Amino acid sequence: MIPAPLFSAQNLVKHFRLKGGLLGSSRGVVRAVDNVSFDLAEGETLGIVGESGCGKSTTARLIVDLISPDAGTITLGGKLLGKHISARELRRQIQMVFQDSYASLNPRLTMEDAIAFGPKVNGMSPQQAARLAHELLERVGLEPRRFAGRYPHELSGGQRQRVNIARALAFSPKIVVLDESVSALDKSVEAQVLNLLADLKAELGLTYVFISHDLNVVRHMSDRVMVMYLGQVAEIGTVEAIYSAPAHPYTAALLSAMPSMDPDRRTMEAPLTGDPPNPINPPAGCRFHTRCKHADTICAAVEPGLFGLPGEGHQVACHIHIPGSNHRNRGVEA
Ligand code: SF4
């Protein structure tokens, strides 16, 4: 029997109304997340990739309930959010680490106080919370005697991000959402923080959602990868399936745009041209059809749903793979 997922998002929709029209009316709707579904198994890392504006950060905010979906459901441990589990409890069990390590910390709080703040608000005594802060500083590789009394401006970007990870761990979460959490760091510091994240995951049995524009880092960190395009899931599957046999032309284009040190693997033609279309008025049918070199008549007319491919949980939203779609390239590799 397949175990129930730790976390499940079904048919999530989040649209943002643009104000500024005549007499305060709306100028349109940004369809940031449109019918997105995925599961998270306990202990796995799900990578989320896609160009900016694809909806990955909105998805992250929906997962941690920083914003509420317009439609769709979220369950954690089989408990439906809003019915069997409160938003407050979900937010305790799912923590997030953001990209901007400085903005995430209160400049007036020492590192000890920053980490102890959340537990104290949740009823822990000041002494216990301070002890926990010291333990967590140690755990993220910052010697408590040196760092507990420091302020954010006295730390490097990598050290601040370690403190942000410690703050997230102070709630003993089940899931940590890492939204471009290492993207602002130098490459050597980034590698150290990635190693720390891998160690913490193994030690504490954490489950990660790892969002990054860096496909090399996502490959290194993830068990499965979800590729998003204009607010929808284009493809989802194991790292092996996505990186060695991408089925969606968008995934294939993203991968061939990855920088490579191997001169034999350099891309000579631009794999992906132009910016993604405006999410206020996305193209009909397959949203990628305006940039897809395989686009056919059906692509502009009918939106492809996610279709299961051979291989563990590999799904793709592309007419090339949907039986009976009449796409001229039906069955041809992306
Ligand atoms: Fe390209 Fe058509 Fe597949 Fe969309 S459905 S990715 S336009 S081939």
Q: What is the pLDDT of residue 267?
A: 55
Q: What is the C-alpha separation between 199 and 209, in angstroms, rounded? A: 16
Q: What angle do CA 216, 219, 223 make, to 5 degrees?
A: 165
Cβ–ligand 1 contact at 253 (below 6 Å) = no
Tell me which residue of 58, 42, 61, 50 sits closest to 3, measured CA to CA: 42
| Share above pLDDT 70 across residues of the chain, in percent, rounded to a whole number | 92
| Helix or strand run (H / E) with residue 297 | helix 297-301
Instruction: Tell me the pTM.
Output: 0.93
- Among 21-25, 123-127, 264-268, 281-285, name the one with the lowest average pLDDT: 264-268
Q: What is the pLDDT of residue 329?
A: 84
pLDDT mean across residues, the chain: 92
Q: With beta carbons less than 8 A apart as the criterion, state whether 173 and 94 touch.
A: yes
Q: What is the pLDDT of residue 261?
A: 58
Is the pLDDT reported for residue 226 higher than 90?
Answer: yes
Q: With beta carbons less than 8 A apart as the criterion, state whether 15 and 29 touch.
A: yes
Q: Quickly count: other Cβ atoms within 10 Å of residue 319's Cβ.
A: 27
| Share above pLDDT 90 across residues of the chain, in percent, rounded to a whole number | 79
Q: Write out pLDDT tens, residues 312-321.
A: 899 999 999 9
Q: Which two tokens stand for residue 117?
A: 């703040």
Q: Write out pLDDT tens, residues 58-84.
A: 999 999 999 999 999 999 999 999 999
Distance between first and last Cα of the chain: 33
| Helix or strand run (H / E) with residue 234 | strand 232-238
Q: Closest Cα to atom 5, ligand 1: which residue?
A: 318
Question: Can you give the residue ranges of every domain in the chain?
Answer: 247-334
Cβ–ligand 1 contact at 319 (below 6 Å) = yes
Q: Which two tokens stand for residue 200?
A: 């913490």
Q: What is the C-alpha separation between 154 and 230, in angstroms, rounded? A: 39
Q: With beta carbons less than 8 A apart as the criterion, state whether 321 and 249 touch.
A: no
Q: How would residue 273 be classed by pLDDT, with cut points 50, 70 and 90?
A: confident
Q: What is the pLDDT of residue 1?
A: 52
Is the pLDDT reported for residue 270 higher than 60?
Answer: no
Q: What is the C-alpha separation between 133 and 120, in angstroms, rounded? A: 11
The CA 246 to ligand 1 mean position distance, Å, reads: 13
Q: What is the C-alpha separation between 21 and 113, in angstroms, rounded? A: 44
Cβ–ligand 1 contact at 316 (below 6 Å) = no
Cβ–ligand 1 contact at 286 (below 6 Å) = yes
Cβ–ligand 1 contact at 289 (below 6 Å) = yes
Ligand 1 atom at minimum distance from 286 CA: 4
Cβ–ligand 1 contact at 295 (below 6 Å) = yes
Beta-ladder partners of 316: 235, 307
Q: Write out pLDDT tens, residues 242-263.
A: 999 999 999 999 998 877 656 5
Which comes out higher in pLDDT, residue 212 or 24?
Answer: 212
